[in-house]
Structure formats: C-alpha cells, structure tokens
Chain A
Amino acid sequence: MENNQSNAPADAVSEAVIANEKAIHEPLFHVVKRDAMPWYKSWGIRIAAVVLAMLVVALFGFVLTKNDPIAIYRVMIDGAFGTENRIWSLLLDTALLLGVALAVTPAFKMRFWNIGAEGQVLMGGLICAACMLKLGDKMSTGLLLLVMVVASMLAGAIWGLIPAFFKAYWNANETLFTLMMNYIATSIVSCYCYIWSGGGSGRVGIINRKTKIGWLPNLGSHTQTLNIVIILVLTVILFIYLRYSKHGYEISVVGESENTARYIGINVKKVILRTMLLSGALCGLIGMLLVSGTNHTVATSTAGGRGFTAIMVSWLAKFNPLYMILTSFLIVFLQKGSKEISTIFGLNDAIGDIVSGIVIFFVIGSEFFINYKLMLRTKKSGKEEK
C-alpha cells in the first residue's frame, strides 16, 4: 500500500492526495434504518422522551418561578386532579379531544391529511345550535336530539366530503384544501353568531338557558358523564372498525398503496369519499357534543384548536384508538397542569401551549430513534498504520 502512495504524476491524483489529506475523518456516525423494534423498546424510547420533556418543562418552570421541579409537578398534578371538579373537567376535555382525534384517524390511516377537523367540528356545532334554536319548540326532546345528531353529522360530513371529492377525482392537495375549509367554516359560524346574537354583539350566549331544550341529558349527577360515555363507546367501535372490519382493511390498503388497492378491485375513490364522510361525520358529532353537551352555545372558538391538537394526538398514538386515550390524556393533563402553574405563580395561560409544544417536540423527535439508528464509526486500519 505504501509504495503507490507517492509519485503521483497526473493532476487528478495530486488533487486526490490533497483531498485525501483534508478528508482525514470519516463521518463520525451515519444513520441507518432500523429493523422492527420490540414494542417494549419503542415504548421505552417514547416514555423516555416524555420524561426528558418533563425535565425540560421543570427547568423552564424553575427559570420562571424559582421553584424546584417537585413543587412544579405537584402544582401540575394538583391542577389536573386537585378537586372533584377538576377531575371531571380533565376527563371531559380528554374525552372531547379524544373524540376529535378518533374522527381524524380513519382519514389519516388512509394517508389523507385532513387538517380540516376544526372546520368540520364547527359546522357540526353550528347546525346543532341551529336545531336547538329553531326546532326547539317544534318537536319532542327525543326527536330533537335525534335530529341534532343526524344534522350535525351531516354538516361535518359535507365539510369533509368537499375536499375528499376533489382529492379523489383530481388529486387536489387535501392538506391545503382542508386548511382553507377551516376558515370558510369560521366565517360562516361568525356570520350566524351575528345573526343569532340579535343586537349585533356577535355572541350567541347560552342557548335555551331556562328551558334546556336540546341540551344533552345528564347521566347520573354530572353533565359530563354522557359525553365521556359516548366517546368511550366510540373509541371501542372505531378500534373494531379499523382493525376488524372490511372497511378498515380497505382504508389500510388504500393508505399503504393505492395501486394495490386498485389491483384487488377496491374502488379507491369510493373509499376516500366514504372514509372522509365518516371522518367528517364524527367531527360533526363532536361538534354537537360540544354545543349540546358541553358549552350550550356556539362561537368561532367552539372547536378551540382541538382539530389541530387531535392530529398530534392521533399521530402520537400511531393511529391506534386505544393508545389515543393515553395521548389525549397526556396533552390535556399538560394543559390543565400548566394552567395551574400560571395561576399559582402569576404567569399567563399561554404556558400550556408551550409545555405541550415541548412534550410533542420530544415525542416527535424520539420517533427518529425508533425508526433509525446511529452507527458510530470504529477506527480504521489505515489510520493505525501511520
């Protein structure tokens, strides 16, 4: 090897020598794709990411409040579980977020990037409010509730179907399309808020405050229970739908490979439309739960950003409805806990978004270590000869 390392006549060779001397180091490490990882390892990495993120949150809290991590965590836990009301509120918010996450999941499994859940929820909520306002005195409570459910789901479904139609037939970019649909929905809701507010304040106020017509009935002593039960039932149904039904199987096939789907005779357009119909209808249903079962009013903020947060919930749970219970709980816990921190330490509410942002970044980042591995380079023989 030594003998032909010298006396390089050609230009190319002398260039190469220079380059070689510059290039003393091999890349320190390089990235390779991993084979499957056992589930306990991958979950270990995810949990480690959350723990790491919580340490960063504690550090962040320490800088702001000069309190030690234990105190901060205690405040967070207290904010989430401190009183019975807080626990109910935690459960209800988890359920509602979970509901929207469930709704977007079929579409996402199909690799249809529906970021229009916000608008679909709003449209569902709007129609629900319309029923409560306009049909309240025209029919029995049971019938009214039924009409509300159907109408809300229909509204959400239509809002989901429009982009799906253009995606299925002309491959219009669904991410951007659904995003735009959100703002159209916001405008429409805002418009009706003005109409229904009468005086032009733009606030609808509590609908049927006295009569409670069209309000979701209480199950037991708490207003939240029925919402939570409905969404839990929905979780199980959706899990079964995705895992064990023909539709669910078709969704997976279309998501993995449209060509394969065509090959075995799945009507891809039909599946896209059907799945977005389902996704939109479920969003509409959550809109109805928000208006009829929770807020008893409608506003542009009814969806409250859940349409976007739900995407993260669904994605973090790998589109598995059962895992989504955990991920939505995690996000809501962080928001509630952070809110308590801001109240106790006199900070402002926005801290919740920052904390959940940090945790999500860590978990998103941790996926890299599940899918790839870093290979460190070992010293090579060439160098030892020097």
Chain B
Amino acid sequence: MSAFFLTIFVPFFCRAVVQGVPLLFGATGEILTEKSGHLNLGIPGTMYMGAIGGVIGAFIYEQKVENLNPFLGIMIPLLFSLLFSGLMGLLYCFLTVTLRANQNVTGLALTTFGVGCGNFFGGSLIKITKADVPNVILTRTHNLFCKTLPFASKLGWFGEMVFSYSFLAYLSVIIAVIAAFVLNKTRVGLHLRAVGESPATADAAGINVDRYKYVSTIVGSMIAGLGGLYYIMDYACGVWSNDGFGDRGWLAVALVIFTLWRPALCIFGSFIFGGLYIIHNYLTQALHLSFASQELVQMTPYVVTILVLIAISLRKKRETQPPAHLGQNYFREER
C-alpha cells in the first residue's frame, strides 16, 4: 500500500464522503419531488430549515437536561428537523399543487423564506446564548450524532473508508437505495413516475395525482432536511453559524441532473461532488495553488453538471431526459 494511498487518498475519500452526504440527502429528496413533476427550487431553503430545526430541538433539549439521554438526544433534533423541512414541503405543495402557482417563483421564494427563517432562529438562539462568537454550539448533541462504528478503527484503511462515518451517513445511502428500489421496483414507484411523466394519464388510470405529488414532495423535503441536520450535527461539529450552509442546496439540485434522476447513481455522484468540493485543498498542497485558483477549482461541480446537461440534451435518449412534465402544474379540467 503506497504512502500516497494511505496518507492522502484515504483521508480525501473520507472527507469527500462526509461532504457528499448532505448532497446525497438533498438530491434524493429532490429526485422524489422531481419525479412527481415538481421542480422544487426551494430545496436549499428546505435543507436550511432542516438544519435549524435540528439545532432548535437540540438546543431545547440541552438547555433542559444536564446529561443527555442518547436516544432522546438524537430523536428530538431528528424529529424537529423532519418537522421543519416537512412543513416547508407542505407549503410548497399547497402553493404549487393545490393553488397551482408557478413552480420556479414559489421555489425561489421558499428558498428566500427558508434561509431567512433559518438565520432568524439561528440569530435568536445566538442572542440567547450570549456567546462571544456568533455561533450556537451543541457539542453534546454532536457527540451523540457523530458516534461511529466501534470496529472501524481495527480494520485499517478499509475500516476508515467504509465504517468510519456516523449513522446519518449510512442512513443517507440506505434512503437512496430505498428510493431507487421504490421508484423502479414497486407499484408506488410506477405510479409516481407516471405522475411526473404524464399526470393526465395517471389521473385517467385512477391514480390520485395530487396525493402522490404531496406525499413525494413532503417526503422528499424531509429527506433533504436531513442533509441540513447532518451538516450541522456531524460535519460542522454541532456548531451553527448563520449562512454557514453555503451553496450546498444548489449543489444538491445540480447533483440530481448529474445523476440523471437516479437515486442509486446519486450515491456515487454525491461522493464525486463531495470530492470536487474539497479537492482544491489537496491541489493546493500538491500544485501550490494560489487562493485565487482555489476559487476557480470550486466551480468544477457546476461545470461538470453543465457538461452532463449538455450531453443529455445532445443525446436525446428518452430514458435520460428529465420527467416529461417537470415544472408544469396539472389541472384536470384544462381545456
């Protein structure tokens, strides 16, 4: 085993995975939503709300209790996170499905609103803690969330690459696998894909189009919200700072295209994106990059996504196109 592999590639891979997990959550959630024909540009705001939801839950619990019960310490932030992101999904659905509002406008407004709410709650909590730094620090909850498998360290580089992550990371992969299975191998998946491809057909076949849209969007939003939770509780070591989430939400939207609306591909795609997101740090060491060039390297995921977008439009293969009804609302009695 070469030194390069052990000292550079293994840590790089692990960090790429850690970077990729929030994207994987976000992209899996967005795929479910897009498969129902709704382009939810509110995903960044939703992930942000998922993050602040977790922070609020953890904050309340940490304030109330001296010694955290491990189960409650995880479940309370988790449920808060799901509640917050789920509500965002509900709001998006109410506007675009029931009231048939423009999806792009609603999505962008939702992102503004979600980021605003996140910063507002975050800012308020910071004020409550009266800390010197503009952060909410939830180390105890972080310690619960970042528990790794005990035998990881005994398996050398393999253990590090495969078993060194916290449970949410594995959950993200499991959810992506389940999503892929549901979409491709179940009746529900067949119906959901039909709703996104041709809602009129699905409707005529007796499928409750609105219900599928609601369920897939809300579930998708909740999954995306977990990405925010993972970011705060694991990646950011339980430290919330306003606007700390960066552009990960949009990167998740990009990942959906990059992986051609397939959750299983998303697993690998997320690691690639995670790697691209941090590769500049490694290149800096290897190639002595300046700060300026580092910034340029950061655009790689977006450039790659654009290339994929161009490639699929050039090939025009039916199976790799976005859901046919993506972005269009459905009204049964349209005439």
Complex Cα–Cα for A161 and B305 (A):
18
Which secondary structure characterizes the binding site on chain B? helix
* B285 at interface, CB cutoff 8 A: no
* A352 at interface, CB cutoff 8 A: yes
Across the interface, do A347 and B291 meet the contact criterion of CB distance under 8 Å? no
Tally of A-B Cβ pairs under 8 angstroms = 168
Which secondary structure characterizes the binding site on chain A? helix
- The stretch among A127-135, A176-184, A204-212, A291-299 that forms the contact with chain B is A176-184
In chain A, positions 189-205 with a C-beta closer than 8 Å to chain B are 190-195, 200, 202
Write out, one digit per residue, whether chain B residues 91-114 have a CB within 8 A of any chain A CB (1) or not (0). 100110011111011101111110
In chain B, positions 236-258 with a C-beta closer than 8 Å to chain A are 242, 247, 250, 253-254, 257
Complex Cα–Cα for A78 and B327 (A):
40
Among B109, B111, B127, B247, chain A packs the most CB atoms within 10 A around the CB of B109
Q: Which of B102, B104, B295 contacts A187 (CB 8 A)?
A: B295
How near does chain A come to B196, taking the closest CB pair, in angstroms? 14
Complex Cα–Cα for A192 and B247 (A):
19
B39 (CB) vs chain A CBs: closest residue: A175
How near does chain B come to A118, taking the closest CB pair, in angstroms? 11
B108 (CB) vs chain A CBs: closest residue: A308
Complex Cα–Cα for A351 and B254 (A):
29
Chain A hits for B116, CB < 8 A: 350-354, 356-357
* A14 at interface, CB cutoff 8 A: no
Across the interface, do A368 and B100 meet the contact criterion of CB distance under 8 Å? yes
Across the interface, do A311 and B299 meet the contact criterion of CB distance under 8 Å? no
Chain A hits for B327, CB < 8 A: 113, 175
Write out, one digit per residue, whether chain A residues 4-33 have a CB within 8 A of any chain B CB (1) or not (0). 000000000000000000000000000111
Across the interface, do A173 and B313 meet the contact criterion of CB distance under 8 Å? yes
Across the interface, do B335 and A33 meet the contact criterion of CB distance under 8 Å? yes
Complex Cα–Cα for A356 and B120 (A):
13
Across the interface, do A361 and B296 meet the contact criterion of CB distance under 8 Å? no
Number of interface residues of B (CB under 8 A): 57
Across the interface, do B115 and A353 meet the contact criterion of CB distance under 8 Å? yes
Complex Cα–Cα for A166 and B296 (A):
23
Across the interface, do A368 and B101 meet the contact criterion of CB distance under 8 Å? yes
* B334 at interface, CB cutoff 8 A: yes
Complex Cα–Cα for A170 and B306 (A):
13
Chain A hits for B112, CB < 8 A: 305, 308-309, 353, 356-357, 360
In chain A, positions 313-366 with a C-beta closer than 8 Å to chain B are 315, 346-354, 356-358, 360-361, 364-365
Number of interface residues of A (CB under 8 A): 56
* A266 at interface, CB cutoff 8 A: no
Q: Which of B296, B302, B314 contacts A191 (CB 8 A)?
A: B296
Across the interface, do A350 and B117 meet the contact criterion of CB distance under 8 Å? yes
Complex Cα–Cα for A215 and B93 (A):
46
Across the interface, do B306 and A177 meet the contact criterion of CB distance under 8 Å? yes
* A312 at interface, CB cutoff 8 A: yes
Q: List 18 A-B contacts (CB under 8 A).
A: A115-B104, A172-B313, A173-B309, A176-B254, A176-B257, A181-B302, A181-B306, A183-B247, A184-B306, A186-B247, A308-B112, A309-B112, A315-B102, A350-B115, A350-B117, A353-B120, A354-B113, A357-B109
Q: Which residues of A contact B (CB under 8 A)?
A: 31-33, 113, 115, 166, 170-173, 175-177, 179-184, 186-188, 190-195, 200, 202, 305, 308-309, 311-312, 315, 346-354, 356-358, 360-361, 364-365, 367-368, 371-372
